Amino acid sequence: MWRDLAPVGRSATSGGYFRQPWASAETELRSWFAEECAARGFTVETDGIGNQVAWWSPESASGPGVLTGSHLDSVLDGGAYDGPLGVASALAAIDVLRDRGFAPDRPVGIGVFVEEEGSRFGRACLGSRLVTGATTWAEARELRDRDGVFLGDAVADAGLDPSAGLLSLERVGTFVELHVEQGRDLVDRDLAVGLASEIWPHGRWRFDFAGQANHAGTTRMEDRHDPMLTYAMTALAASKQARLAGQRATFGRISVEPNGTNAVPSLVTAWLDARASSDDALASLVGEIGRQAGDRAGRDGTALTVTAESVSGSVAFDPELAARLALLGDWPIIPTQAGHDAGILSDAGIPTAMVFVRNPTGISHSPDEHADTADCLAGVEALADVLAELAGP
Protein backbone atom coordinates (compact mmCIF):
# COMPACT_ATOMS: atom_id res chain seq x y z
CA MET A 1 0.00 0.00 0.00
CA TRP A 2 3.00 2.34 0.60
CA ARG A 3 3.92 1.85 -3.07
CA ASP A 4 0.50 3.21 -4.17
CA LEU A 5 0.88 6.19 -1.88
CA ALA A 6 4.45 7.09 -2.83
CA PRO A 7 3.85 8.89 -6.17
CA VAL A 8 0.84 10.97 -5.08
CA GLY A 9 1.74 14.67 -4.92
CA ARG A 10 5.46 13.99 -5.36
CA SER A 11 7.63 16.61 -7.06
CA ALA A 12 9.79 15.23 -9.87
CA THR A 13 12.43 17.87 -9.15
CA SER A 14 12.88 17.75 -5.38
CA GLY A 15 11.41 14.33 -4.59
CA GLY A 16 9.36 16.08 -1.85
CA TYR A 17 5.59 16.14 -1.45
CA PHE A 18 3.02 18.84 -2.18
CA ARG A 19 -0.16 17.45 -0.68
CA GLN A 20 -2.08 20.62 0.09
CA PRO A 21 -5.61 20.26 1.40
CA TRP A 22 -8.57 20.38 -0.96
CA ALA A 23 -6.30 20.14 -4.01
CA SER A 24 -5.90 17.23 -6.42
CA ALA A 25 -3.23 15.17 -4.60
CA GLU A 26 -5.19 15.28 -1.37
CA THR A 27 -8.41 14.27 -3.11
CA GLU A 28 -6.53 11.30 -4.60
CA LEU A 29 -5.28 10.38 -1.13
CA ARG A 30 -8.83 10.40 0.22
CA SER A 31 -9.76 7.87 -2.47
CA TRP A 32 -6.68 5.81 -1.67
CA PHE A 33 -7.74 5.64 1.98
CA ALA A 34 -11.32 4.72 1.09
CA GLU A 35 -10.05 1.92 -1.19
CA GLU A 36 -7.68 0.54 1.48
CA CYS A 37 -10.54 0.49 3.95
CA ALA A 38 -12.96 -1.09 1.48
CA ALA A 39 -10.40 -3.83 0.76
CA ARG A 40 -10.55 -4.67 4.48
CA GLY A 41 -14.34 -4.59 4.59
CA PHE A 42 -14.58 -1.26 6.46
CA THR A 43 -16.94 1.51 5.44
CA VAL A 44 -15.41 4.97 5.32
CA GLU A 45 -17.31 7.96 6.55
CA THR A 46 -16.13 11.24 5.00
CA ASP A 47 -17.42 14.38 6.68
CA GLY A 48 -18.33 17.71 5.11
CA ILE A 49 -14.75 19.00 5.04
CA GLY A 50 -12.93 15.77 4.14
CA ASN A 51 -12.03 14.26 7.53
CA GLN A 52 -12.39 10.49 7.29
CA VAL A 53 -12.96 7.62 9.68
CA ALA A 54 -13.48 3.89 9.28
CA TRP A 55 -14.26 1.42 12.06
CA TRP A 56 -13.28 -2.20 12.50
CA SER A 57 -16.15 -3.34 14.63
CA PRO A 58 -16.64 -7.10 14.60
CA GLU A 59 -19.38 -8.71 16.67
CA SER A 60 -17.07 -9.09 19.65
CA ALA A 61 -16.71 -5.28 19.90
CA SER A 62 -18.89 -2.78 21.74
CA GLY A 63 -18.64 0.41 23.76
CA PRO A 64 -16.32 3.38 23.23
CA GLY A 65 -13.71 2.71 20.57
CA VAL A 66 -9.98 3.12 20.17
CA LEU A 67 -9.19 5.53 17.34
CA THR A 68 -5.80 5.59 15.63
CA GLY A 69 -4.60 7.45 12.53
CA SER A 70 -3.02 10.73 11.50
CA HIS A 71 -3.09 12.99 8.42
CA LEU A 72 -2.30 12.69 4.70
CA ASP A 73 -1.56 16.35 3.84
CA SER A 74 2.00 17.66 3.80
CA VAL A 75 3.91 20.90 4.22
CA LEU A 76 5.16 22.45 0.96
CA ASP A 77 7.88 20.12 -0.33
CA GLY A 78 7.51 17.85 2.67
CA GLY A 79 8.65 14.32 3.43
CA ALA A 80 6.91 11.03 2.76
CA TYR A 81 6.35 10.02 6.38
CA ASP A 82 4.95 12.98 8.35
CA GLY A 83 1.29 11.99 8.48
CA PRO A 84 0.96 9.10 6.00
CA LEU A 85 3.10 6.80 8.17
CA GLY A 86 0.45 7.04 10.90
CA VAL A 87 -2.39 6.23 8.50
CA ALA A 88 -0.61 3.37 6.69
CA SER A 89 0.59 1.95 10.02
CA ALA A 90 -2.95 2.06 11.39
CA LEU A 91 -4.19 -0.07 8.46
CA ALA A 92 -1.19 -2.42 8.77
CA ALA A 93 -1.60 -2.75 12.55
CA ILE A 94 -5.19 -3.89 12.09
CA ASP A 95 -3.95 -6.43 9.51
CA VAL A 96 -1.46 -7.69 12.13
CA LEU A 97 -4.19 -8.01 14.76
CA ARG A 98 -6.42 -9.94 12.37
CA ASP A 99 -3.52 -12.23 11.42
CA ARG A 100 -3.00 -12.84 15.12
CA GLY A 101 -6.68 -13.85 15.38
CA PHE A 102 -7.33 -11.02 17.80
CA ALA A 103 -11.02 -10.29 18.45
CA PRO A 104 -11.39 -6.76 19.86
CA ASP A 105 -13.73 -6.07 22.78
CA ARG A 106 -13.98 -2.46 21.60
CA PRO A 107 -14.20 -1.08 18.06
CA VAL A 108 -10.93 0.09 16.51
CA GLY A 109 -11.13 3.08 14.18
CA ILE A 110 -8.77 4.71 11.70
CA GLY A 111 -9.07 8.47 11.37
CA VAL A 112 -7.59 10.92 8.84
CA PHE A 113 -7.74 14.63 9.63
CA VAL A 114 -7.51 17.36 6.94
CA GLU A 115 -5.15 20.37 6.82
CA GLU A 116 -3.01 19.19 9.75
CA GLU A 117 -0.03 21.21 8.58
CA GLY A 118 -1.87 24.45 7.95
CA SER A 119 0.20 24.70 4.78
CA ARG A 120 -2.60 26.22 2.71
CA PHE A 121 -4.74 28.28 5.09
CA GLY A 122 -2.24 28.92 7.88
CA ARG A 123 -4.07 27.15 10.73
CA ALA A 124 -2.40 23.95 11.89
CA CYS A 125 -4.62 20.96 12.76
CA LEU A 126 -7.64 22.66 11.25
CA GLY A 127 -9.60 19.44 10.63
CA SER A 128 -9.25 18.19 14.19
CA ARG A 129 -9.83 21.69 15.59
CA LEU A 130 -13.14 21.90 13.72
CA VAL A 131 -14.18 18.41 14.82
CA THR A 132 -13.49 19.15 18.50
CA GLY A 133 -15.02 22.64 18.32
CA ALA A 134 -11.70 24.36 19.09
CA THR A 135 -12.29 26.37 15.89
CA THR A 136 -15.68 27.23 14.42
CA TRP A 137 -16.69 26.76 10.80
CA ALA A 138 -17.82 30.40 10.66
CA GLU A 139 -14.23 31.42 11.43
CA ALA A 140 -12.52 28.77 9.28
CA ARG A 141 -14.48 29.33 6.08
CA GLU A 142 -13.30 32.96 5.91
CA LEU A 143 -9.60 32.01 5.87
CA ARG A 144 -7.87 32.66 2.54
CA ASP A 145 -4.99 30.84 0.89
CA ARG A 146 -2.05 32.53 -0.86
CA ASP A 147 -4.14 33.00 -4.02
CA GLY A 148 -6.96 34.64 -2.08
CA VAL A 149 -9.28 31.59 -2.30
CA PHE A 150 -11.64 31.33 0.66
CA LEU A 151 -11.45 28.08 2.57
CA GLY A 152 -15.20 27.62 2.22
CA ASP A 153 -14.86 27.77 -1.57
CA ALA A 154 -11.83 25.44 -1.63
CA VAL A 155 -13.80 22.82 0.30
CA ALA A 156 -16.77 23.11 -2.06
CA ASP A 157 -14.48 23.01 -5.14
CA ALA A 158 -13.08 19.72 -3.81
CA GLY A 159 -16.60 18.28 -4.11
CA LEU A 160 -17.34 18.37 -0.38
CA ASP A 161 -20.37 19.83 1.33
CA PRO A 162 -19.63 21.44 4.69
CA SER A 163 -23.34 21.53 5.53
CA ALA A 164 -23.17 17.72 5.68
CA GLY A 165 -21.59 18.15 9.13
CA LEU A 166 -18.40 17.07 10.83
CA LEU A 167 -17.13 13.75 12.17
CA SER A 168 -18.48 12.87 15.56
CA LEU A 169 -15.95 11.85 18.19
CA GLU A 170 -18.70 10.37 20.35
CA ARG A 171 -17.52 6.81 19.74
CA VAL A 172 -13.90 7.64 20.56
CA GLY A 173 -12.78 6.47 24.01
CA THR A 174 -9.03 6.75 23.33
CA PHE A 175 -6.87 8.17 20.53
CA VAL A 176 -3.42 6.92 19.55
CA GLU A 177 -1.42 8.62 16.77
CA LEU A 178 1.66 6.96 15.35
CA HIS A 179 4.12 9.44 13.81
CA VAL A 180 7.65 9.53 12.45
CA GLU A 181 9.87 11.21 15.04
CA GLN A 182 10.83 14.72 14.01
CA GLY A 183 13.94 14.94 16.12
CA ARG A 184 16.83 12.75 17.21
CA ASP A 185 15.76 11.50 20.65
CA LEU A 186 15.25 7.90 19.52
CA VAL A 187 18.48 7.84 17.49
CA ASP A 188 20.38 9.09 20.52
CA ARG A 189 18.79 6.34 22.61
CA ASP A 190 19.38 3.69 19.91
CA LEU A 191 15.70 2.72 19.99
CA ALA A 192 13.20 2.23 17.15
CA VAL A 193 10.03 3.20 19.03
CA GLY A 194 9.01 5.65 21.76
CA LEU A 195 5.93 7.31 23.25
CA ALA A 196 5.10 11.01 23.66
CA SER A 197 4.91 12.78 27.00
CA GLU A 198 4.01 16.30 25.88
CA ILE A 199 3.89 18.80 23.03
CA TRP A 200 5.62 22.12 23.52
CA PRO A 201 3.40 25.18 23.25
CA HIS A 202 3.83 26.82 19.87
CA GLY A 203 2.24 29.23 17.44
CA ARG A 204 2.40 31.40 14.35
CA TRP A 205 2.61 35.18 14.33
CA ARG A 206 2.41 37.43 11.27
CA PHE A 207 4.84 40.36 11.24
CA ASP A 208 3.99 43.17 8.80
CA PHE A 209 6.87 45.59 8.25
CA ALA A 210 5.69 48.63 6.26
CA GLY A 211 8.20 51.03 4.72
CA GLN A 212 8.58 53.45 1.84
CA ALA A 213 9.03 52.14 -1.71
CA ASN A 214 11.82 54.03 -3.43
CA HIS A 215 14.48 53.91 -6.15
CA ALA A 216 17.35 51.48 -5.45
CA GLY A 217 19.90 53.73 -7.16
CA THR A 218 18.97 57.33 -6.47
CA THR A 219 17.78 57.01 -2.87
CA ARG A 220 20.65 57.75 -0.49
CA MET A 221 21.18 55.02 2.09
CA GLU A 222 20.42 57.44 4.94
CA ASP A 223 17.11 58.49 3.34
CA ARG A 224 15.59 55.01 3.20
CA HIS A 225 12.75 53.44 5.18
CA ASP A 226 13.53 49.88 4.18
CA PRO A 227 11.29 47.21 5.75
CA MET A 228 13.61 44.46 4.49
CA LEU A 229 16.26 45.68 6.93
CA THR A 230 13.82 45.71 9.83
CA TYR A 231 12.78 42.20 8.90
CA ALA A 232 16.39 40.99 8.52
CA MET A 233 17.37 42.33 11.94
CA THR A 234 14.23 40.79 13.43
CA ALA A 235 15.10 37.36 12.01
CA LEU A 236 18.60 37.60 13.53
CA ALA A 237 17.19 38.77 16.86
CA ALA A 238 14.64 35.93 16.90
CA SER A 239 17.30 33.31 16.31
CA LYS A 240 19.61 34.76 18.96
CA GLN A 241 16.79 35.10 21.49
CA ALA A 242 15.62 31.51 20.96
CA ARG A 243 19.16 30.15 21.24
CA LEU A 244 19.81 32.06 24.45
CA ALA A 245 16.54 30.80 25.96
CA GLY A 246 16.84 27.17 24.74
CA GLN A 247 13.64 27.62 22.69
CA ARG A 248 12.80 27.68 18.95
CA ALA A 249 12.08 30.58 16.59
CA THR A 250 11.86 30.40 12.79
CA PHE A 251 10.94 32.78 9.99
CA GLY A 252 10.25 30.25 7.19
CA ARG A 253 7.81 32.25 5.08
CA ILE A 254 8.10 35.78 3.77
CA SER A 255 6.44 37.92 1.13
CA VAL A 256 7.80 41.17 -0.28
CA GLU A 257 5.95 43.99 -2.05
CA PRO A 258 6.49 44.83 -4.83
CA ASN A 259 9.34 42.29 -4.99
CA GLY A 260 11.46 44.14 -7.55
CA THR A 261 15.25 44.08 -7.67
CA ASN A 262 15.70 47.80 -8.26
CA ALA A 263 13.31 49.15 -5.63
CA VAL A 264 13.38 49.51 -1.87
CA PRO A 265 10.34 47.40 -0.86
CA SER A 266 7.16 48.95 0.49
CA LEU A 267 6.09 46.00 2.61
CA VAL A 268 7.62 42.82 4.01
CA THR A 269 5.36 40.27 5.63
CA ALA A 270 7.04 37.44 7.51
CA TRP A 271 5.61 34.64 9.60
CA LEU A 272 7.24 33.69 12.89
CA ASP A 273 6.91 30.08 14.11
CA ALA A 274 7.90 30.02 17.79
CA ARG A 275 7.96 27.12 20.25
CA ALA A 276 8.99 26.93 23.88
CA SER A 277 9.01 24.56 26.81
CA SER A 278 6.22 26.34 28.71
CA ASP A 279 3.38 28.76 27.95
CA ASP A 280 5.12 31.53 29.92
CA ALA A 281 8.43 30.92 28.13
CA LEU A 282 6.64 31.11 24.76
CA ALA A 283 4.91 34.36 25.68
CA SER A 284 8.17 35.91 26.83
CA LEU A 285 10.08 34.69 23.74
CA VAL A 286 7.54 36.15 21.32
CA GLY A 287 7.21 39.31 23.42
CA GLU A 288 10.96 39.86 23.34
CA ILE A 289 11.18 39.27 19.57
CA GLY A 290 8.33 41.75 19.05
CA ARG A 291 10.03 44.30 21.33
CA GLN A 292 13.33 44.08 19.46
CA ALA A 293 11.51 44.27 16.10
CA GLY A 294 9.65 47.38 17.29
CA ASP A 295 12.91 49.05 18.42
CA ARG A 296 14.48 48.34 15.08
CA ALA A 297 11.40 49.62 13.20
CA GLY A 298 11.73 52.87 15.15
CA ARG A 299 15.33 53.26 13.99
CA ASP A 300 14.50 52.33 10.36
CA GLY A 301 11.45 54.59 10.16
CA THR A 302 9.25 51.61 9.31
CA ALA A 303 5.99 50.50 10.92
CA LEU A 304 5.48 47.10 12.55
CA THR A 305 2.22 45.24 13.17
CA VAL A 306 2.24 41.81 14.85
CA THR A 307 -0.82 39.53 14.60
CA ALA A 308 -1.15 36.16 16.35
CA GLU A 309 -2.57 33.74 13.77
CA SER A 310 -2.73 30.58 15.87
CA VAL A 311 -1.35 29.66 19.25
CA SER A 312 -1.45 26.19 20.81
CA GLY A 313 -0.87 25.84 24.53
CA SER A 314 1.24 23.07 26.02
CA VAL A 315 -0.24 19.57 25.77
CA ALA A 316 0.46 16.93 28.41
CA PHE A 317 -0.62 13.52 27.15
CA ASP A 318 -2.39 11.27 29.66
CA PRO A 319 0.54 10.20 31.89
CA GLU A 320 -1.15 7.06 33.20
CA LEU A 321 -1.95 5.93 29.68
CA ALA A 322 1.64 6.52 28.55
CA ALA A 323 3.04 4.69 31.57
CA ARG A 324 0.72 1.72 30.92
CA LEU A 325 1.66 1.53 27.24
CA ALA A 326 5.39 1.97 27.93
CA LEU A 327 5.33 -1.37 29.77
CA LEU A 328 4.40 -3.13 26.52
CA GLY A 329 7.80 -2.50 24.98
CA ASP A 330 9.97 -0.77 27.55
CA TRP A 331 9.52 2.35 25.40
CA PRO A 332 10.83 5.75 26.48
CA ILE A 333 8.35 8.59 27.01
CA ILE A 334 9.72 11.69 25.30
CA PRO A 335 8.55 15.25 24.59
CA THR A 336 8.10 16.73 21.13
CA GLN A 337 8.21 20.24 19.73
CA ALA A 338 5.91 19.35 16.80
CA GLY A 339 2.17 19.90 16.74
CA HIS A 340 -0.23 17.02 16.07
CA ASP A 341 -3.94 16.26 15.83
CA ALA A 342 -3.29 14.12 18.91
CA GLY A 343 -2.70 17.35 20.85
CA ILE A 344 -6.06 18.73 19.77
CA LEU A 345 -7.92 15.54 20.74
CA SER A 346 -6.08 15.46 24.05
CA ASP A 347 -7.13 19.08 24.70
CA ALA A 348 -10.71 18.00 24.01
CA GLY A 349 -10.50 15.60 26.97
CA ILE A 350 -9.91 12.36 25.06
CA PRO A 351 -7.21 10.17 26.69
CA THR A 352 -4.51 10.30 24.03
CA ALA A 353 -1.10 8.75 23.36
CA MET A 354 1.47 8.97 20.58
CA VAL A 355 3.85 6.34 19.24
CA PHE A 356 7.03 7.68 17.59
CA VAL A 357 9.12 5.80 15.03
CA ARG A 358 12.84 6.54 14.79
CA ASN A 359 14.01 9.00 12.15
CA PRO A 360 17.72 8.35 11.54
CA THR A 361 18.63 11.99 10.84
CA GLY A 362 15.81 13.75 12.68
CA ILE A 363 15.13 15.73 9.49
CA SER A 364 11.45 16.46 8.88
CA HIS A 365 9.30 18.93 6.90
CA SER A 366 11.80 18.28 4.12
CA PRO A 367 12.17 15.85 1.20
CA ASP A 368 15.06 14.33 3.20
CA GLU A 369 12.75 13.04 5.94
CA HIS A 370 13.30 9.31 6.38
CA ALA A 371 12.52 6.23 8.42
CA ASP A 372 14.06 2.82 7.83
CA THR A 373 11.67 0.05 6.73
CA ALA A 374 12.66 -2.12 9.69
CA ASP A 375 11.73 0.71 12.07
CA CYS A 376 8.42 1.31 10.30
CA LEU A 377 7.64 -2.39 10.72
CA ALA A 378 8.62 -2.19 14.40
CA GLY A 379 6.21 0.77 14.64
CA VAL A 380 3.38 -1.30 13.14
CA GLU A 381 4.02 -4.13 15.63
CA ALA A 382 4.15 -1.59 18.48
CA LEU A 383 0.89 0.01 17.35
CA ALA A 384 -0.74 -3.43 17.08
CA ASP A 385 0.36 -4.16 20.67
CA VAL A 386 -1.02 -0.81 21.82
CA LEU A 387 -4.37 -1.38 20.07
CA ALA A 388 -4.58 -4.91 21.52
CA GLU A 389 -3.94 -3.50 25.00
CA LEU A 390 -6.56 -0.77 24.63
CA ALA A 391 -9.22 -2.68 22.69
CA GLY A 392 -8.62 -6.04 24.31
CA PRO A 393 -10.19 -7.66 27.35
**In sequence order, what are the residues at sequence separation of 6 or more whose Cβ sits closer than 8 angstroms to the Cβ of residue 28?**
8, 9
Among ligand GLV, Mn ion, none, the one that 341 touches (CB under a kind-dependent 5 to 8 A) is: none
Q: Where are the beta strands (DSSP E) in 101-222?
A: 108-113, 172-180, 193-199, 202-210, 214-215
Name beta bridge partners: 85.
Answer: none
Name beta bridge partners: 271.
Answer: 206, 253
Site string for ligand GLV, 85-124 (x = CB under 6 A): --------------------------------x------x
Q: Which of residues 323-362 bind ligand GLV (CB under 6 A)?
A: 338-339
Task: Report the residue from 16, 50, 69, 83 that binds Mn ion according to the rule CB under 5 A.
Answer: 83
Q: Where are the beta strands (DSSP E) in 221-358?
A: 248-257, 263-264, 267-275, 303-312, 315-316, 333-336, 352-357
Binding of residue 67 to ligand GLV (CB under 6 A): no
Q: Which stretch binds Mn ion (CB under 5 A): 26-34, 146-154, 225-233, 337-345?
A: 337-345
Name beta bridge partners: 255.
Answer: 269
Binding of residue 80 to ligand GLV (CB under 6 A): no
Identify which of residues 216 and 316 has a Cβ nearer to Mn ion in the complex: 316
Q: Which of residues 122-141 bind ligand GLV (CB under 6 A)?
A: 124
Q: Binding site for Zn(2+): what residues are annotated?
A: 71, 82, 117, 179, 365
Identify which of residues 340 and 370 has a Cβ nearer to Mn ion in the complex: 340
Q: Rounded to whole angstroms, how far apart are CA atoms 378 and 193?
A: 7
Q: Rounded to whole angstroms, how far apart are CA atoms 85 and 177?
A: 10
Q: Binding site: what residues are annotated?
A: 71, 82, 117, 179, 204, 262, 275, 365
Name beta bridge partners: 71.
Answer: 113
Q: Given the rule CB under 6 A, which residues bind ligand GLV?
A: 117, 124, 338-339
Q: Given the rule CB under 5 A, which residues bind Mn ion?
A: 82-83, 338-340
